[in-house]
Structure 1
Amino acid sequence: MTRLTSGLQREILRLGRDIVLNSLVASPMIPPQIRWRALRTLGLPVERAFVQARCFFGGRDVHIGRGTFVNYDCFFDAAATISIGRNVRIGMRCVVVTGTHSIGSSEQRAGDELAQPVRIGDGAWIGANVTILPGVVIGPGAVVAAGAVVTGAVAADELVAGVPARAVRSLNP
């Protein structure tokens, strides 16, 4: 009985968080210049940043540094920590995934749940429609071209593009 009650309580809390965080705060009715304050009030470690409407936060462990710009419709699952540095630019409809599964048997290939943090370094630029997968570290000053799927580390001051993302060239610091 206790396990059922605690599971139900977790679901009610998650639902409440989603209603407030991903409906009210994510609403276009909240000006983006103050959305960071609302996120911070709800427990997300967000510095003074510009977060556009309709972004989804799957949890509170999303760190956003000062001067960062997050465009419309971004998705942060937050099964593990997501750390976004200072002065980062994130294009519209980006997806940052920290949760995944191990490969199970043929009866159910999505096995045990796993989570790995994602880190985006200061000054990085993430183009529109980029997908960043669990465990990725994007170095400071890196650029990820629009539409890329980032599956591995991106060095500082490096431009990557493609599916999967591959190094295109080094950039001047």
Structure 2
Amino acid sequence: MRRKLLTVCTMFWEDFLGMVPDLVLNTIAASSFTPRIIRWLIYNAYGIKAEAISIYPGCYIKTKKLRVGGGAFINRGCFFDNVSEVVLEENCSVGMEVMFCTSTHHVGSEEKRASPQTIGLPIKVGKGTWIGTRAVILPGVTIGSGCIIAAGSVVTKDCKENGLYAGAPAKRVKDLPITNGADARSKELSSVHLKRGSLSIAENNVGNSAISLSNSSES
């Protein structure tokens, strides 16, 4: 009797210890009542490397093997089965209820096709990629930078950069335009400088006009 009681207590304690991370990550941090900055602090304190603060409520995160780059956005209800590492690079946008599944199994015999041993294969999403609502990203997939994954797609293989992928399984359906971000930023800054220069010239003209009027009134 004592041995059975000890076994039950041990099982309870192990289950309790397993519940603590889930309670912190997927109940407290994932709550709609938790401010984004508090959610971000909890994730990082637990060991998740999240540079981005824009992680919305309702996300399920299985382990701390998650890296989120700066400027990334994760919408509500996303599911991270991160037995192996999931990496979202800078400026990624993830729609609602996207699933990242890193765990799988070897194919077993007809008696049990999913073998007991779990295999973890990492997922990586490149810079600037946009993943649509309810897409599913399967184990071992790498998605290149600048891609769009259409809503509801099932990504089973690697995706080359700057492409639109759609379907189940997802296939490349379109090449996306490539613009040089640095050139675009340079043009934007040049436009601002030109506007400031025009404003400065306008101010000088107003000042000169004011001086001219003042001189005229004195004469």
Say whether 1:94 aligns with 2:98: yes
Matched letter for residue 122 of structure 1: K
Which residue of 2 is the match for residue 57 of structure 1? Answer: 61
In structure 2, which of residues 67, 70, 91 is the aligned counterpart of residue 66 of structure 1? 70
In structure 1, which of residues 66, 78, 89 is the aligned counterpart of residue 82 of structure 2? 78
Distance 1:12 1:104 in 2: 32
Q: Which runs of 5+ in 2 are unaligned?
A: 179-219
Q: CA deviation at 1:42?
A: 1.5
Correspondences of 1:132-147 after superposition (within 5 Å): 132-147=137-152
Matched letter for residue 154 of structure 1: C
Distance 1:88 1:137 in 2: 13
In structure 1, which of residues 140, 157, 164 is the aligned counterpart of residue 162 of structure 2? 157
Distance 1:7 1:39 in 2: 27
Asked whether the equivalents of residues 119 and 136 of structure 1 are also in contact (C-alpha less than 8 Å), the reply is yes
Count of residues in correspondence between the two structures: 171
Distance 1:39 1:52 in 2: 12
Deviations 1:7-34 (A, max 9, x none): 8765433211001110000000112344
The change in CA–CA distance for 1:37 and 1:143 in structure 2 (over 3 A counts) is same
The change in CA–CA distance for 1:10 and 1:44 in structure 2 (over 3 A counts) is farther
Which residue of 1 is the match for residue 197 of structure 2? Answer: none
Partner of 2:49: helix, strand, or coil? coil
The structure richer in helix per residue is: 2
Say whether 1:13 aligns with 2:8: no
Asked whether the equivalents of residues 37 and 48 of structure 1 are also in contact (C-alpha less than 8 Å), the reply is no
Distance 1:126 1:18 in 2: 25
Q: Percent identity?
A: 35
Q: Which runs of 5+ in 1 are unaligned?
A: none
Which residue of 1 is the match for residue 208 of structure 2? Answer: none
Asked whether the equivalents of residues 35 and 50 of structure 1 are also in contact (C-alpha less than 8 Å), the reply is no
Bigger RCO of structures 1 and 2 (CA < 8 A, at least 6 apart): 1
The structure richer in strand per residue is: 1
Q: CA deviation at 1:58?
A: 0.4
Distance 1:44 1:148 in 2: 27
TM-score under structure 2 length normalisation: 0.74
The change in CA–CA distance for 1:8 and 1:119 in structure 2 (over 3 A counts) is farther
Q: Which has the larger radius of gyration?
A: 2
Q: CA deviation at 1:6?
A: 8.6
Asked whether the equivalents of residues 78 and 97 of structure 2 are also in contact (C-alpha less than 8 Å), the reply is yes
Deviations 1:113-169 (A, max 9, x none): 111000000100000000000000000111000000000011110110001000001
Say whether 1:126 aligns with 2:103: no
Q: CA deviation at 1:104?
A: 0.7
